[in-house]
Amino acid sequence: MPDEQIDTSDIPELTNFAGAVRGRFYRPLTQSATIRLNAPDIAAARQFSKVKGMPYQTYIRGLLHEALVREAKLVPARRRNP
């Protein structure tokens, strides 16, 4: 059914966005990757993730993301040569 044919007359129009949060439901695209990690690092990640109540791969992904964000703040953006 085309959008023009949908009856929205019974839906109130939103005019106040005071409590709205931008990007609340945004999820970045993910890509599968295979990397080799040291066994003690994986064991430590499994222990820490259990304490936090999350899967160890999710925990590692979070650590990697935090480190990359931190690194991006430290490394100045490269300038393009015209």
pLDDT in tens, the chain (82 residues): 899 999 999 998 888 889 888 888 888 899 999 999 999 999 999 999 999 999 999 999 999 999 999 999 888 766 555 5
Tokens of 75: 């490394």
Stated as kind and residue range, the H or E segment containing 52 is: helix 39-52
The amino acid that residue 11 corresponds to is: I
Write down the pLDDT at residue 76. Answer: 73
- How many Å apart are CA 54 and CA 57, to the nearest integer? 9
Write down the pLDDT at residue 47. Answer: 98
The amino acid that residue 36 corresponds to is: R
Write down the pLDDT at residue 40. Answer: 98
Is the model's pTM score more than 0.75? Answer: no
Write down the pLDDT at residue 78. Answer: 62
Q: What is the C-alpha radius of gyration for the chain, rounded to an integer number of angstroms? A: 22
- How many Å apart are CA 43 and CA 56, to the nearest integer? 9
